[in-house]
Amino acid sequence: MAKRKTKYVCQDCGYESAKWMGKCPGCNHWNTLVEEIEALSGGAGHTMSRDGKAAGQPESITSIETKKEPRITTGMKEFNRVLGGGIVPGSLALIGGDPGIGKSTLLLQISSQLAEKQLPVLYISGEESTRQTKLRADRLDVSSELLYVMAETNLLDIINQIEQIRPAFVVIDSIQTIYREEVTSAPGSVSQVRESTSELMRVAKSNGIPIFIVGHVTKEGAIAGPRMLEHMVDAVLYFEGERHHTYRILRSVKNRFGSTHEMGIFEMKEEGLREVMNPSEIFLEERSQGAAGSTVVASMEGTRPVLVEIQALISPTSFGNPRRMATGIDTNRVPLLMAVLEKRVGLMLQNQDAYIKVAGGVKLDEPAIDLAVAVSIASSFRNQPTKPEDIVIGEVGLTGEIRRVARIEQRVQEAAKLGFKRVICPMKNLEGWVPPESIQVVGVNTVREALDEGLTS
């Protein structure tokens, strides 16, 4: 009988070592290496691809036949948008989020909608019993004979049921509870998560069944387990939001079949999640009129423009070093833009505390919001309100110039649809297109010009 060897595996990054170390060389975290027993290696079998050919045989790229497979569309347009138009057959997607944010609720509603389309769905719950899942289903008014629920954590039994039922959609809730008998480590460990995901990927690709797996997140907000877990799957979705607010954001950070940084907005109701078709109205519904330090910007979230309010509060500092705080945007952008305002416009901001916030809890990470942040800072510092029917778009350079942004047509059309009358944007963006008649587009070349146009006298 072969002797089993032991190894030490980091539970954060998956680094393997022959001996124990207090600090992991891979991620520099302390006390994360756990002893595990290596599984005996067996003979590798030949896997088959979906067209019946043996996998691993090289083929000329010109001889490979391609066919466009229709996506599986759900009853939630926001969910379809985040995935790039619907669920791709044979795809493996990972969805993560804080505990209690609504991951299981969302997937149970999606499963119900697919089952109502006469598509068999298998919902695997490793954390709840079938009765507990049924209680949630009753609350969400989910009832379909083609929705099969199973409480199981053994991966072999799960795969057997998948091959027996042949569902059109599978949910694994969650991957941290699934285990393989051949792997000796505990469920949720790096080895178990990695091996279970690898086997589920094989099942999804070979049978053409889309599988969605739920992943726990760490206290930093990243999906727990090795980083390679995100590299193995086809799509990575994050379900974000504050527990004390009703709105939830489903964000795509990786998608092999669609655009990344796509965003879907949902509202948590007593009967479940309800999609928000026009998030711009939600972010602007509580905007105060005539307040200094408030500016509206049109930001692109994937393929959709979203209008959000950027608020700034500038006040004299009480300390030696002024504070620079930001919520919803990169904190490093705030001192950079304040330095441009001080050097190129002449605003004395070196003894002022600055607090920047994106209203509504959304996070913006594109350079097109620079000009709106700068206008909000100048508005609060001068105590001059911005014009309430203006939209400000543009990237700010270190010399004070306003640089062009992408997809200006979609941003302006969204502003016109919501009733705004004027858009302040880079001068270079005025070329090659005709804006709608209901809105005026003003081009600016410098930050000083933008402040002269955007602030009331």
Residues belonging to the binding site are 97-104
The H or E element containing residue 115 is helix 103-116
Say whether 304 sits in a helix, a strand or coil. strand
Helices 447-454 and 370-382, axial angle in degrees (round to 10): 60
Q: Which residues pair with 95 in a beta bridge?
A: 214, 237
- Residues contributing to the annotated binding site for ATP: 97-104
Cα separation, 297 vs 357, whole angstroms: 13
Examine residue 174 and say whether the peptide bond preceding it is cis (omega within 30 degrees of 0). Answer: yes
Burial of 351 (0-12, 13-18, 19+ CB in 10 A): exposed
Of 395, 418, 389, the closest CA to residue 307 belongs to 418
Q: Output the six-digit token pair for 200.
A: 């589920």
The H or E element containing residue 192 is helix 190-207
Of 188, 176, 215, 199, the closest CA to residue 34 belongs to 188
Angle at 172 between CA 169 and CA 178, to 5 degrees: 145
Q: Output the six-digit token pair for 21.
A: 């170390």
Reported as half-sphere exposure (CB side, CA atoms, 13 A), residue 241 has a value of 22
Say if residues 245 and 260 touch (Cβ distance below 8 Å): no
The H or E element containing residue 377 is helix 370-382
Q: CB count, 10 Å around CB of 124?
A: 25
DSSP 312-364: EEEEE-SSSS--EEEESS-TTHHHHHHHHIIIII----TTEEEEEEETTS---
Cα separation, 270 vs 260, whole angstroms: 30
Say if residues 130 and 151 touch (Cβ distance below 8 Å): yes
Contacts of 143 (CB under 8 A, 6+ apart): 112, 137
Burial of 115 (0-12, 13-18, 19+ CB in 10 A): buried
DSSP state of 261: S
